[in-house]
Structure 1
Amino acid sequence: MKAMVYRGPYKIRVEEKDIPPIEHPNDAIVRVTRAAICGSDLHLYHGMMPDTRVGMTFGHEFIGVVHEVGSSVQSLKVGDKVMVPFNVYCGSCYFCARGLYSNCHNVNPNATAVGGIYGYSHTSGGYDGGQAEFVRVPFADVGPSIIPDWMDDEDALMCTDALATGYFGAQLADIVEGDTVMVFGAGPVGLFAAKSAWLMGAGRVIVIDHLEYRLEKVRTFAHAETYNFAEYDDIIVHAKRITDGLGADSVIDAVGAEADGSFLQQVTGTKLKLQGGSPVALNWAIDSVRKGGTVSVMGAYGPLFSAVKFGDAMNKGLTLRMNQAPVKRQWPRLFEHIRNGYLKPNDIVTHRIPLEDIAEGYHMFSAKLDGCIKPILIPSAA
Structure 2
Amino acid sequence: MAYQKLKEELIAYSKEIGIDKIGFASAKPFSEFKSRLEEQQALGYASGFEKGTNEERTEPERLMPGSESIIAIALAYPTKIKDEPKSVKGDRRGLFARASWGTDYHIVLKEKLDKLASFLQEKEPEVQFSSMVDTGELSDRAVAERAGIGFSGSNTLIISPELGSYMYLGEMITNIPFSADQPLDEGCGTCTKCIDACPTGALVEPGRLNAQKCLAFLTQTKDFMPDDHREKLGNYIYGYETCQVVCPYNKGVDFHNHEEFEPDPELVKPRLVDLLSVSNREFKENFGKMAGSWRGKKPLQRNAILALAHYKEVAAIDKLIELMKDDPRPVIRGTAAWAIGKIGEVRGFRAIEQAMEQEKDSEVIAEMEKGLQFESISK
Q: Which protein has the bigger helix share? A: 2
TM-score, with structure 2 as normaliser: 0.24
The structure with the largest strand share of the pair is: 1
- When normalised by structure 1's length, the TM-score is 0.24
Q: Greater relative contact order (Cα 8 A, min sep 6): structure 1 or 2? A: 2
Which entry has the higher C-alpha Rg, 1 or 2? Answer: 2
